[in-house]
Structure 1
């Protein structure tokens, strides 16, 4: 069956919206490219970028020229663009302080799918409200935590489901010490949810918060995370460690699965003899490097809207992820004590402010 292309409107034409930095382009594994929203849309059959919005006129016009968006479809105001164009899909690559309002404008315009950067919104209650609305209205959604869509991370999930390492005991994410809670660690938390399951119960952690940044339920900063642990209902433990390498380790009763170097490779380690104490049988598992995470996210939106595929990710995972991030902060403020997720108030607001910008 031949389908008319689905229309996509882009909000935000910076690094994640339209122009992947050269430093990023030359340093990440191939599974990350295309990375920006506009580049990924261009690479997906059945999608057409028809309009864009960007407050900076130079960036707006540079993106329009690069991606073939006519001048009359380049807007300074996102809400005006969405109301005028009424696209099938909104690609939202703004800063988090305006993201919730942009999502509301997209929903008011009747979009059928949204891909939004992370973090979703500074205030947990806004994330809860808008994700619930999208789920209720059947709006397909994907998030900027795109590792879940990359081939190596998907293959690891398949191996885990197939029992390759027995019963899962721990998921550890090695992104390095001092990573910022909202700028970076939504990725780590999403991986914990993707492998550990959607039933996290409690969190403990320690963060560094600048003096004077805490006022009531508002943290006007982006805390640096020393460590965090997440306990799941079935006994699985999740860990955000101080180790570097950008690796993910899935440890089970019969071996480990490691996604190495940001998705560049996949390794399976098991004992050479059943029940052996040493994981001395190590094999590299072949994985593709395409499609990229962003590209696969937009493919998932396309297929869900057309009715040829499932919803690309559970809406509730975004809410759970933000609640876990909030619980890390609440735990730290309480001396690192274990904090039930239910204890995180919906009014908790973390601005993600760092060096003059918000996440």
Structure 2
């Protein structure tokens, strides 16, 4: 059985091809784009793709017509939903335009929805999306993609096993020109929640200059960096963990994550394949440093995300990156906006 997939949005995150040429015996470099991931999955049929920009659809055809010659092109997602009888709907439009497409897809008979991050830009929209999926028995996951990275799970296992003691402080850094609070920062906010394993209760933040009017999301959906603020912020979790997030343009394009406990610290880059574990046995000595490397998996990243969605469609359960998880990341982002509006005060996370 082939699962019929339809995609709304044909930006680079959807249609990019793997870089480089095959180098036998190695082939098919891991790619994070949706279409590339689907192309590795014989159980998936890319039935249709939709975008209001005809040039985006032309780029899709130029890149993928040989692999997907029968994929139908649409400018109207409603028409696509009505005609194609999809099993899975992928929503990869601008950040602030996910909600109605997800709701319409859930009401139209799809069985699973894979939504890009952030899930939405208001909690009201998010709740409506979740309610529509629950009402229609539709499974949904949100593409906070690092939740399907083997390293993240290996590091969390090390933390749970007591390698650094109970975590006390998490620090995430996102630098470079695309240090955008909503578009890319949501990955790091979600990572802080993934490792804190607790509910956020209070936040504080200061946005970069020029965004004092941001009492709510006022961006362009993630297109231009100048329309999505950088910021520095703090998150207090219910279990006592404190998290610090720095996302500022004008800094080096380096991303990192650090998890500190009483016995040691784990450090890794935003896309690293391994993490450093430093443990201090004696306060008068040097820390013992070792590397944490995950097991290698044939299925990870985008392919794992789609495979998981099919699994929960067929057998029940929830995604490792559920809409409820994504809602928590959005709560923190919106809390940052409220804190900035109040001059950087510590405020409750919005419900």
TM-score by length of 1: 0.82
2:75 equivalent in structure 1: 76
1:210 equivalent in structure 2: 210
Q: Distance in 2 between matches of 1:277 and 1:89?
A: 57
Contact 1:115 1:142 (8 Å CA) reproduced: yes
1:89 equivalent in structure 2: 88
Give matches, 1:85-124, under 5 Å. 85-124=84-123
5+ unaligned residues in a row in structure 1: which ranges? 24-29, 345-359
1:235 equivalent in structure 2: 240
Give matches, 1:177-196, under 5 Å. 179-196=179-196
* Deviation by residue 1:57-95 (Cα, 9 ceiling, x = unmatched): 343244241541426x22121111112112111111111
SS at match of 1:97: helix
User: How many residues get paired?
Assistant: 330
Deviation at 1:209, TM superposition (A): 5.3
2:52 equivalent in structure 1: 55
Q: Distance in 2 between matches of 1:67 and 1:248?
A: 37
Is residue 14 from structure 1 mapped to residue 30 from structure 2 by the alignment? no
Contact 1:150 1:290 (8 Å CA) reproduced: no
Q: Distance in 2 between matches of 1:253 and 1:86?
A: 54
Q: Distance in 2 between matches of 1:261 and 1:308?
A: 31
1:252 equivalent in structure 2: 261
Deviation at 1:324, TM superposition (A): 0.5
1:349 equivalent in structure 2: none
**Shift in alpha-carbon separation, 1:46–1:176, aligned structure 2, 3 A:** same
Deviation at 1:228, TM superposition (A): 0.8
* Deviation by residue 1:195-254 (Cα, 9 ceiling, x = unmatched): 11241001001102536844x656457442331110001100111136863121111122
**Shift in alpha-carbon separation, 1:176–1:249, aligned structure 2, 3 A:** same
SS at match of 2:193: helix
Is residue 268 from structure 1 mapped to residue 267 from structure 2 by the alignment? no
Contact 1:17 1:92 (8 Å CA) reproduced: no
SS at match of 2:175: coil
1:298 equivalent in structure 2: 306
Deviation at 1:37, TM superposition (A): 0.9
SS at match of 1:206: strand
**Shift in alpha-carbon separation, 1:319–1:175, aligned structure 2, 3 A:** same
SS at match of 1:263: coil
SS at match of 1:68: coil
Deviation at 1:39, TM superposition (A): 0.8
Deviation at 1:141, TM superposition (A): 2.0
2:341 to 333, 340, 344: 333
Q: Distance in 2 between matches of 1:308 and 1:131?
A: 16
Contact 2:278 2:289 (8 Å CA) reproduced: yes
* Deviation by residue 1:253-275 (Cα, 9 ceiling, x = unmatched): 2222222351332221112x3x6
Q: Distance in 1 between matches of 2:241 and 2:128?
A: 29
Contact 1:304 1:312 (8 Å CA) reproduced: no
Deviation at 1:314, TM superposition (A): 3.0
Deviation at 1:137, TM superposition (A): 4.3
2:290 equivalent in structure 1: 283
Contact 2:103 2:133 (8 Å CA) reproduced: no
Contact 2:219 2:228 (8 Å CA) reproduced: no
**Shift in alpha-carbon separation, 1:270–1:218, aligned structure 2, 3 A:** closer
SS at match of 2:278: strand
SS at match of 1:234: coil
* Deviation by residue 1:46-67 (Cα, 9 ceiling, x = unmatched): 3221221122334324424154
2:36 equivalent in structure 1: 39
SS at match of 1:267: strand
1:170 equivalent in structure 2: 169
User: Could you say which structure has the greater relative contact order, defined with CA pairs below 8 angstroms and 6 or more residues apart?
Assistant: 1
Q: Distance in 2 between matches of 1:18 and 1:67?
A: 12
TM-score by length of 2: 0.84
Q: Distance in 1 between matches of 2:192 and 2:283?
A: 27
